[in-house]
Each structure stands twice: as structure tokens, then as C-alpha cells.
Structure 1
Amino acid sequence: MSAPGSSTLRKKRKIAVLGSRSVGKSSLIVRYVEDAFVDSYYPTIENIFQKTITHKGQEYDCDIIDTAGQDEYSILNSKHAIGIHGYMLVYSIASRNSFDMVQTVYDKILNYTGTESVPCVIVGQKSDLHVQRQVSEAEGKQLAAQLKAAWIEVSARHNANVAKAFESMLGETDKGTTEGGPEPQPSKCIVM
């Protein structure tokens, strides 16, 4: 039996990746999990990717949920809220609308989970499209501060900051848990 806090004990993490259509959610995940760039666009219904990640000496078995694009009328699926340890909310730096949608999606998550905040990383995707930029770094950082979330800009095409985004996500999921402390257990509710 390993000692508490030992790196031989893997922690399980479920991460939901949400955002508007065609912001590069799938490209971001595929770049991270398979180290490949998907140039063509095929709308996603839902995919689950798995990867073992080592962060700060701790191993994590991660399920990364690639979701369908959200809009203001989308209903948040319960499986994207229940049992999720953290959220990556993705926008394209070349799309003002996708950036504006981040707050809407975040509010839907809070409404569904009934919490005041969730572990979250705001991801400005497509940083290689700097000539087409519609959202400044300052705006991304400001929104993240407002939501008490981490923030990073990435480029799946150039593999820039992709790993850092997922490492940041793991850091956010572990905020508030004590080193070597017990893993938070999901609460259960029975409706009769």
C-alpha cells in the first residue's frame, strides 16, 4: 500500500471542454492527446479522450470530454456538469462572438451545478491568427479574473501552450485540496 500523497496513486479527473462552434476545441484536444493537428472542420457531437498526465509529481488519469459547440440557446447536457472536475472554456481570438459566449457558458455551468464557482481555465485558441485578432490578451485576462479562472492563449496548429493549458487545468482542479489530503468524493442526491 502506498503512502498518502504518493505519486503511485493516480487521481481521476474529468475535464469538459466547452465553447462556441468552430473555435478549435477538437483541434486543441487532439493536439494534446495525439500530438496531431486536425486542419479540417467536422462538427463534433461528443468524443471522450483519455490521457495519463503527470503534473507536479502526481499522475492523473484524465477523461477529456470534447463537446458540441455551444450557443446562447444550447442546453447544457447534464453529463457536462455532473462529475466534472474542471472546465476549459475555449474561444477563438479571431471571433468576438465566441469570446462573448464564454460568460454565457460559464453562467450555464454555475446554474446547473448550483455552485458559486467551478475550477476553470479560459483558453484563447488560434493565437496563430494574430492578424485576424478580435479579442485582446487584456480582455481575456480580465474575463478570467472576473470568473476567478486561469487564462492562457494557445495555438493547436503550432502546438503553442497546449500542454500548459491542460497543466493549468489540473492546477485549477486541485486548488483547495490539501497536499496528501483525501480526494473529494462526489455527493449523491436521491429524489423519490
Structure 2
Amino acid sequence: MPPPRERKLAIMGYRSVGKSSITIQFVDNQFVESYDPTIENTFTRQIKVLNQEYKLNIVDTAGQDEYSLFPVSYSLDIHGYILVYSVTSAKSFEVVKVIYDKLLDMVGRIKIPIVLVGNKTDLHMHRKVTTDEGQKLAQTWNAIFLETSAKDNLDVQEIFKKVILEMERQDGNLPEEKKCIIS
């Protein structure tokens, strides 16, 4: 069996959208009820995707807003990005668009491996951003889209599997996914 491939991911989004909750759910299989604003944490976990082990180093970033300056470290040696918004916050959805634009400017490439995540689906009665809006945004970015609930552990593992597959695809290690668009 080949040695694990090391990959570094950054999880980014507006404050209190659940970036840390998603990360801790993925790494430790637990949901943390209390909210403690993150400055920046790095987590490590191994995961197997398509018979290949990956050692993921996940940079859980501080919440960004439209005026945040990104540290250069968010573009160095990062293989993929998870951009998170809360389905209960239109503001977080707008901010994730700004983060994406800043990311493209900083990285200097047109195509980067991104998974767009609408979190907090367990709070469906407070929903402000529709699934359709999230899907359309991801489509314009040519990104993967998922909705999740870190609290209910809904598709949390899937987020990380999808970003790995997208990184491998863009590195030329996987064939392009065939997409059928019906309008």
C-alpha cells in the first residue's frame, strides 16, 4: 500500500457559521455546543479515499468578513479549500462570495479545489439561504456543493472526501467528472 499523501486544507467562512464544529466533528466525532471564537487551529486526521490514505492537515481559520485581510499563509501550501456559510444567515452567504474572490486573487489561479458548504441544516426553521442558491453559486465557481449539519453529523465526512477528490482531479490524478446540466 502506498504511503499516505499529505494534504493541507483551509476551512474558511464568516464568524459562527460552524467551521470549527465541522472540523471537530470530522476529527473527533463530537459536536461542541459552546461557541468560542477561533483564532486559528490546525487539526490532523487520516482518511482513506479510493484506496489511498491521506493525512489531512486542516487549518481552521478565524471567521472572516468582507474587510478581513487574508494572511499569506492561507495561500501557501494549501491544496484545497472548504468555504462555509450558514443556511440561517444571508450575511454569511454574501461574505463567502467575497472570501472566494479574495482567495482567487491571493492564490493567483482561476481554478482551485473548493467545496462550498451550507451548514446548520438542522436549523431549517430559521433558513435564510435556499439549497438552490447554494447550488447556483457553486456552479458559477465550478465547485462542489454540499449542505450539512455539524450538529447532526450530516455529510461531514463527505465534505472532506469531496475536497480530496477535487484536489486529485485538478492535479490530474482523476478523470474529469462528467456533468449533465439540464436547464
- Paired residues in the alignment total 174
Please say if residues 38 and 61 of structure 2, whose CA atoms lie closer than 8 Å, have aligned partners that are also in contact: yes
Are residues 1:107 and 2:101 paired?
yes
CA contact (8 A) 2:113 2:170 kept: no
2:81 corresponds, among 87, 112, 133, to 87
1:8 matches 2:8: no
Query: What's the secondary structure of 1:44's corresponding residue?
Result: coil
Secondary structure at 2:151 match in 1:
coil
Q: CA deviation at 1:103?
A: 1.1
Identity rate of aligned residues, in percent?
A: 43
TM-superposed deviation, 1:177: 3.0
**Deviation of the 1:113 alpha carbon:** 1.1
Shift of the alpha carbon at 1:114?
A: 1.0
Q: Is the counterpart of residue 68 in structure 1 residue 62 in structure 2?
A: yes
Which residue in the other structure is 1:23 paired with? Answer: 17
Displacement of 1:178:
3.8
Q: Which residue of 2 aligns with 1:126?
A: 120
Query: Could you tell me how far apart the structure 2 residues matched to 1:148 and 1:167 are?
Result: 17
- Separation (CA, whole Å) in 1 of partners of 2:2 and 2:116: 30
Alpha-carbon distance in 2 for matches of 1:12, 1:28: 20
Q: Deviations along 1:138-157, whole A, 9 cap, x unmatched?
A: 00000000011000001011
Using the TM superposition, give the Cα deviation of residue 179 of structure 1 relative to its aligned residue in structure 2, in angstroms: 3.9
User: What do you get for the CA RMSD once the two structures are aligned?
Assistant: 1.1
Structure 2 unaligned residues grouped into runs of 5+: 175-183
Find the aligned partners of 1:58 and 1:177 in 2 and give their Cα distance. 15
Q: CA deviation at 1:9?
A: 2.1
Contact 2:8 2:78 in 1 (8 A): yes
- Unaligned 5+ residue runs, structure 1? 1-6, 181-192
| Cα distance in 2 between the residues matched to 1:68 and 1:112 | 17
Structure 1 length-normalised TM:
0.88
CA distance in 1 between counterparts of 2:172 and 2:109 reads 20
Q: Which amino acid aligns with 2:155?
A: N
CA deviation profile, 1:124-168 (whole Å, cap 9, x unmatched): 010101100000000000000001100000101110100011111
Other structure's SS at 1:76 match: coil
TM-score between the two structures when normalised by the length of structure 2: 0.92
**For 1:76 and 1:170, how far apart are their aligned partners in 2?**
23
Give, in whole Å, the separation in 2 of the partners of 1:106 and 1:52: 27
Write the letter of the residue equivalent to 1:149. Answer: A
Range with bigger deviation, 171-180 or 83-92: 171-180
Q: 1:179 to 1:19 in 2, by over 3 A?
A: closer
